Structure 1
Amino acid sequence: MTDGGRRARRAFIGSFTAAGGPGVVAAAVAGDSGALTPLTSVDGVPDPSYLALSPDGDTLYAVSETTEGAVAAYRVKDAALELTGPPVRVGGSGPTHLSLFDGHVLTANYGSGSVSAVPVRADGRLAHAPSGVLRHSGSGPHERRQRDPHAHQVQPDPSGRWVVSVDLGTDSVRVCALTDGRLELHREVALRPGSGPRHLAFHPDGRHAYVVNELTPTVTVCRWDAAAGSLRPLAETPLLPDTPAGDAYPSGIVVAPDGRFLWTATRGEDVLSAFAVDADGEGLTRVGTVPCGGHWPRALALSHGSSSGRSASEGVFLYVVNERSGDVTWFAVDPATGLPERAGAVRVAAASCVIFG
């Protein structure tokens, strides 16, 4: 699939096969409208709920969010996806997130409360076993959800020096180093007890980070010091204009490429919240809350349109993965206010994430 001799833009959508999902879906992306058109799907891996693409775009990695816990690699050939080998056990259960860092695939294993590192070979294939597994310890005050650690996300920091993992069960963020394939704890940062941190997004300035909390509908603003590998919580901001009448479980969080806006999704309430970010990165002002376009928004992603000559705030599309209604909905973003406006949707049963490459 090419466009003027270049590889055309693509999206990859993960899903829960146990709930009727098609596995991993490859889709074309219309640069002018942000529309997604599914092209093909592959279902060789159970519950590929989260995905990551190699920098060269030739290999796609997927967790298998099962009790056994595994990660798989697909060779990307235009719109076709081909497994490079059997899924590799990660030494932890229920992996919910993965990222690439320093020649390894890192997985956050929610069920076992751990983070794993699986080496990546020169050709993009995976080694047969993890080189290291770092097990978290601790608990939180929520009787049902925080009896044990539950790592929910793992990613490198913008400087490329550190690995940052978010643990819902221990109300903390861990900063680690990856040395000879092994994860070593550098610092554990405590957040408010009972907040239930789920995902973290860095500001493009590399000096601030925002943690969306699942057990209370808030976002925690933090200052990040890459030199020291230190995260300092500054303040919490409510995601919703009113106290939720029922269950509200925040999920995704993304920051605009120019750092002017931030968006979150909240399940149960089924809404998106848009915030203006202060110039210093440390203040958030909610500018609006809009319906997410479906039911149970599990993940968010951003993508730029193809038109040239735009600022970083223009031509941005916000994508919402609505798990229980089985769709990926996209929104055009107002470059002046940051408010999303629904532009379209595509059906993907039990969808769980979308990434672009």
Structure 2
Amino acid sequence: MKLLIGGYTKKKATGIYELPLANSNENSQPEVGSAKEIIKIGGPTYFVQDNDLLFTINNAGNQGGISSFQLLKGKYLEKDSYLTTGSSPAYIGINQENKLLYSANYHTGLLAVFSYDNNGTLKLLASLTHTADSLGPRPEQVDGPHPHFFDQTPQKNLVSCDLGNDCVDFYSLENNQLKHLAKYQNEAGFGTRHLVFSPDGQYFYVVGELASKINVVKLDEKNWSFENIATYSTIPTDYSEHNGAAAIRMSNDGKFIYVSNRGHDSITVFLVKADHTLELQQRISTFGEFPRDFNWDNDQKLLVATNQNTDNATLYTRNAENGCLTPIQKNIYIPEGTCVLFDE
């Protein structure tokens, strides 16, 4: 097993790195080895995989977009790129079944859908640009829409999170055109960033970066009705310094939700109760600064958090019964890490 970690390339980093992950001889616990560069590219802050193909955000100077790479004879070779003048996207999602990619551009407000083939060839299918419909009051919002997430829903529609407009938008993809279906409005200043759906597809949990909160919402994806269930803080009530909530993930069994906090520098674990309300289970340090992302292996027994500002990552074990994390390796060197994948 190995880790793939990428991020910003503003200081020391130069692309995407591979880190071996194996049991150590001393205590039979998993241990992460040294990082080595496997793809040289600018700003791979988010990337996804489909077998031997890897699709990543590419910040190519005055251009930005996505690029594809294919693993051939142990090396990643660049296959294709789709770049346009301006900033690179903030997010890339994947539909492996239909060979589709979804990108959200925080700076330009653009949502885009691409197709790809077995050789990694990219084709733009559809796009649209968010407008300033419901801008929030915070400084990060007043300059315009900021879509931060774009991916598929349980019913195979598409969904975006817009930090500037404080909203979740739903779309269909019909005849290579994006059609707006519905909108859920978060509270002003929420800073809608990312979301996850419950296993039954009837609820979503959306994280507000600027408010450091999670909003639980009941969803009827056929009639497009929404019910605001509850909202919870991801940080302690007595914490007064700056914080930005970032990544959100739900365990496969739907019992636990995890959120990273940049500023408080922690991962907050919530128990999902039978009525889909949440109960705080744990807050644990990421042992570094600015954890933009974290991820787990297929069995969800191991979790790695990347600390962007301190160039390090932390490895945890996860207890499936109570959801709690236990750190087993700290200070794993990785420069400017913001995205982590387990490659098994």
| TM-score using structure 2 length | 0.89
CA distance in 2, matches of 1:34, 1:207: 36
- After superposition, what is the alpha-carbon deviation per residue over 1:55-74, rounded to whole angstroms, capped at 9, x for unaligned? xx110000124663210001
Structure 2 equivalent of residue 152 of structure 1: 148
* Residue in structure 2 matching 1:237, options 229, 232, 235: 232
Bigger mean CA deviation after superposition, 130-139 or 91-100: 91-100
Q: How many residues align?
A: 333
CA distance in 2, matches of 1:92, 1:118: 18
- After superposition, what is the alpha-carbon deviation per residue over 1:13-58, rounded to whole angstroms, capped at 9, x for unaligned? 112112321311123333774533356424432101101111xx11
Alignment of 1:328 with 2:320, yes or no, is no
Structure 2 equivalent of residue 29 of structure 1: 21
Residues 255-274 of structure 1 mapped to structure 2, 5 A cutoff:
255-274=250-269
Alignment of 1:349 with 2:314, yes or no, is no
Structure 2 equivalent of residue 123 of structure 1: 119
Structure 2 equivalent of residue 17 of structure 1: 9
The 8 Å contact of residues 290 and 340 in structure 1, kept in 2 or not, is answered as: yes
Structure 1 equivalent of residue 294 of structure 2: 300
Q: Name the aligned partner's letter for residue 349 of structure 1.
A: P
Residues 25-64 of structure 1 mapped to structure 2, 5 A cutoff:
25-30=17-22, 33-38=29-34, 40-54=36-50, 57-64=51-58
SS in 2 for 1:69: strand
Q: Name the aligned partner's letter for residue 353 of structure 1.
A: C
CA distance in 2, matches of 1:76, 1:229: 41
- After superposition, what is the alpha-carbon deviation per residue over 1:249-293, rounded to whole angstroms, capped at 9, x for unaligned? 11111111111111111111111111111123x210002211112
The 8 Å contact of residues 26 and 79 in structure 1, kept in 2 or not, is answered as: no
The 8 Å contact of residues 45 and 72 in structure 1, kept in 2 or not, is answered as: no
CA distance in 2, matches of 1:266, 1:20: 23
The 8 Å contact of residues 229 and 277 in structure 2, kept in 1 or not, is answered as: no
The 8 Å contact of residues 191 and 233 in structure 1, kept in 2 or not, is answered as: no
1:169–1:79 Cα change, 3 Å: farther
Structure 2 equivalent of residue 206 of structure 1: 201
CA distance in 2, matches of 1:10, 1:164: 31
- After superposition, what is the alpha-carbon deviation per residue over 1:204-234, rounded to whole angstroms, capped at 9, x for unaligned? 2222211111111110111233434555432
SS in 2 for 1:258: coil
Shift of the alpha carbon at 1:79?
A: 4.8
Q: Name the aligned partner's letter for residue 352 of structure 1.
A: T
RMSD, aligned α-carbons = 2.2
CA distance in 2, matches of 1:79, 1:169: 42
1:232–1:58 Cα change, 3 Å: farther
More strand by share: 2
1:230–1:19 Cα change, 3 Å: farther
Structure 1 equivalent of residue 93 of structure 2: 99
CA distance in 2, matches of 1:89, 1:230: 37
Identity %: 23
* Residue in structure 2 matching 1:178, options 148, 162, 173: 173
Q: Name the aligned partner's letter for residue 327 of structure 2.
A: R
CA distance in 1, matches of 2:321, 2:294: 20
